[in-house]
A and B are shown apart, each in its own frame.
Chain A
């Protein structure tokens, strides 16, 4: 068995604070699917999320047009969030590597349960940061005290007063 993947809070925060636009591959139009939960939450937190799903291309999801592939997205995006099986990852990463210079892709994020070490190595070799087997919604909530509201162990220990922006 390979050891569990670990990422420091600082590294994850750096990603979550620098990324603005996320292409979500495998976004579902079914409200009860995990990808729908994640897209809705990330939008609420201020990210623009562009859904990618070939079966639903051209439809609208949570106010965004769904595209058939990464290369069909007209706008730039910083991060690719992959809601697909691990064996579907290499083709997505390959496409992202080709688009990275033009679109400004800096991060490949694979969802909970999605792990592909070869694809990760390929993306890292192309200069991108890779996160595997994590959910950006859960990590955002964990690092901003919201996951704690549900009784979860955020593992965040700090005596600093958080800055709160007033509207």
Chain B
């Protein structure tokens, strides 16, 4: 026995090396793109061992693929988790996560300030599986405790919410989940493992849209579920799909057979097998390239965002700025605890003059790209009321943090003075009626 974490390396070393060693047959140093569907068996017994989950190896790329596996290990390592499961998008990652342990009639509690796409997936599409999402204001963790019911199987929250600059009190939520014997699931997309380490604060599972900062260049959609391996799925009878017999594998109990590997094994061998939302090898490769520079990009994303937010807060045409990196933010204290290296680079502000001014502003931007994504090297701007939230009523838009005056920014890696100058001229045009 030796010290606490033998064979430990720093974050920057792991973002370049974790999961990726030289390919042993050829020596290829960069991760090869295994653009390939299926894998030869040595013999019938080898095939049987693979299908029975008795040995490690590849069968078919819907379940696992060697390029995707490298990305899975890379992200799992950066989150300090046990294993990762990559899939086609962040939405697929959320679907896959709940699919592992939810049964019809089960419910879960989630923040009412989640990214709007998650609210729609949980509140509408999940109902078709008879999964009930209860949306709660998590600024007061006591409300989460009040909302717990015997059918509640998880608590779901974003570490840093898109887009409103809301930071979750992960420690308090982790304590509640632990008491209730259910997992805390954290969407760490906006923060990335560089800014926030949810497992350090009591989270059990982390999900990502790898489309954003992890891939970083706006090239590839993808998602990932990381299991900490620390949740005891056998502590109560709530999680029968892991602790009970699995009919598709001759009554095997995943938790008994695979221990802390059970969740990730199930997510591949049952989840990806039957939901089929697999990540393409090329997307895994692009995302691996992105992660190699994650720390450098996040540092610059954060310093640029901080400068832009400070500029906007002091601007006469701006009504308010919601960025957790500003001392004026009610989430500034939580950000210092959970995101000590920076509060990310996505935030909202209010433009004076309401809806029309918001429309004029996005159309007047020259350097900011007007589109619906975040976490790109390019700076992005969106006026939710006229685009993503256009179908909603005024009241619904305001509740969703997408009121008529709200503008969302995702600050990129350009020269920050250029970004400030572009917003300055756009704000001047927005103020002209």
B54/A40 in contact, CB under 8 A = yes
A149/B24 in contact, CB under 8 A = no
Q: Distance (Å) between the CB of A59 and the closest chain B CB?
A: 20
Q: Distance (Å) between the CB of B10 and the closest chain A CB?
A: 10
Q: Specify the chain A residue showing the minimal Cβ separation from B79.
A: A153
Known contacts being A34-B256, A148-B19, A150-B83, is A157 close to B49, with CB within 8 Å? no
B6/A9 in contact, CB under 8 A = yes
Q: Indicate if B410 sits at the interface (CB-CB under 8 A).
A: no
Chain B residues, Cβ within 8 Å of A149: 56-58, 64, 66, 69
- The answer for the CA separation of A162 and B5 in the assembled complex, in Å, is 24
B-contacting 9-mer, from A14-22, A73-81, A88-96, A138-146: A138-146
- The answer for the CA separation of A160 and B13 in the assembled complex, in Å, is 15
Q: Specify the chain B residue showing the minimal Cβ separation from A33.
A: B257
Q: Distance (Å) between the CB of B244 and the closest chain A CB?
A: 13
A7/B57 in contact, CB under 8 A = no
Chain A residues, Cβ within 8 Å of B76: 151-153
B25/A164 in contact, CB under 8 A = yes
A150/B7 in contact, CB under 8 A = no
Known contacts being A8-B7, A153-B77, A157-B13, is A34 close to B257, with CB within 8 Å? yes
| Number of chain A residues whose Cβ lies closer than 8 Å to a Cβ of chain B | 41
Q: Indicate if B3 sits at the interface (CB-CB under 8 A).
A: yes
Q: Indicate if B1 sits at the interface (CB-CB under 8 A).
A: yes
Q: Indicate if B17 sits at the interface (CB-CB under 8 A).
A: yes
Q: Distance (Å) between the CB of A9 and the closest chain B CB?
A: 5
Known contacts being A40-B54, A150-B265, A153-B82, is A7 close to B19, with CB within 8 Å? no
A152/B25 in contact, CB under 8 A = no
Looking at B18, B55, B80, which has the most chain A CB atoms within 10 Å of its CB? Answer: B55
Q: Indicate if A11 sits at the interface (CB-CB under 8 A).
A: yes
Q: Indicate if B259 sits at the interface (CB-CB under 8 A).
A: yes
Q: Distance (Å) between the CB of B203 and the closest chain A CB?
A: 15
- The answer for the CA separation of A143 and B1 in the assembled complex, in Å, is 17
Residue of A6, A145, A154, A160 near B1 (CB, 8 A) is A6
Main secondary structure of the interface of B (DSSP, over half): loop
A157/B24 in contact, CB under 8 A = no
Q: Distance (Å) between the CB of B94 and the closest chain A CB?
A: 17
Q: Indicate if B21 sits at the interface (CB-CB under 8 A).
A: yes
A122-143 CB mask vs B (1 if < 8 Å, else 0) is: 0000000000000100100100
Main secondary structure of the interface of A (DSSP, over half): loop
A148/B264 in contact, CB under 8 A = no
Residue of B14, B21, B264 near A152 (CB, 8 A) is B264
Known contacts being A6-B2, A150-B69, is A41 close to B22, with CB within 8 Å? no
A151/B69 in contact, CB under 8 A = yes
Q: Indicate if B261 sits at the interface (CB-CB under 8 A).
A: yes
Residues from 22 to 51 in A contacting B, C-beta threshold 8 Å: 31-34, 36-37, 40-41, 44
Q: Indicate if B86 sits at the interface (CB-CB under 8 A).
A: yes
Chain B residues, Cβ within 8 Å of A152: 72-73, 76, 82-84, 261, 264
Residues from 48 to 68 in A contacting B, C-beta threshold 8 Å: none
A6/B6 in contact, CB under 8 A = yes
Known contacts being A34-B256, A146-B56, is A138 close to B261, with CB within 8 Å? yes
Q: Specify the chain A residue showing the minimal Cβ separation from B269.
A: A150
Q: Distance (Å) between the CB of A6 and the closest chain B CB?
A: 6
B24/A164 in contact, CB under 8 A = yes
A153/B1 in contact, CB under 8 A = no
- The answer for the CA separation of A155 and B80 in the assembled complex, in Å, is 9
Q: Indicate if B70 sits at the interface (CB-CB under 8 A).
A: yes
Chain B residues, Cβ within 8 Å of A157: 7, 9, 13-14, 17-18
- The answer for the CA separation of A93 and B73 in the assembled complex, in Å, is 36
Q: Indicate if A101 sits at the interface (CB-CB under 8 A).
A: no
Known contacts being A31-B52, A113-B259, is A151 close to B6, with CB within 8 Å? no
Chain A residues, Cβ within 8 Å of B24: 161-164
Looking at B5, B6, B54, B257, which has the most chain A CB atoms within 10 Å of its CB? Answer: B54
Q: Specify the chain B residue showing the minimal Cβ separation from A130.
A: B1
Chain A residues, Cβ within 8 Å of B265: 150
B2/A148 in contact, CB under 8 A = no
Q: Indicate if B319 sits at the interface (CB-CB under 8 A).
A: no
Q: Indicate if B401 sits at the interface (CB-CB under 8 A).
A: no
Q: Distance (Å) between the CB of B305 and the closest chain A CB?
A: 30
New A-B contacts (14) at CB < 8 Å, excluding given A112-B259, A150-B64, A151-B84? A7-B6, A37-B53, A40-B49, A40-B55, A148-B69, A151-B76, A151-B85, A152-B72, A152-B83, A153-B81, A153-B84, A157-B18, A159-B22, A162-B21
Chain B residues at the A interface, C-beta cutoff of 8 Å: 1-9, 13-14, 17-19, 21-22, 24-25, 27, 29, 49, 52-58, 64, 66, 68-70, 72-73, 76-77, 80-86, 249-252, 256-257, 259, 261, 264-265, 268
Q: 5 tightest A-B contacts by CB?
A: A151-B72, A146-B56, A8-B6, A153-B76, A161-B22
15 residue pairs bridging A and B, Cβ less than 8 Å apart = A6-B1, A6-B6, A32-B250, A37-B53, A44-B55, A135-B259, A147-B56, A151-B76, A153-B73, A153-B80, A153-B81, A153-B82, A154-B19, A155-B77, A158-B21
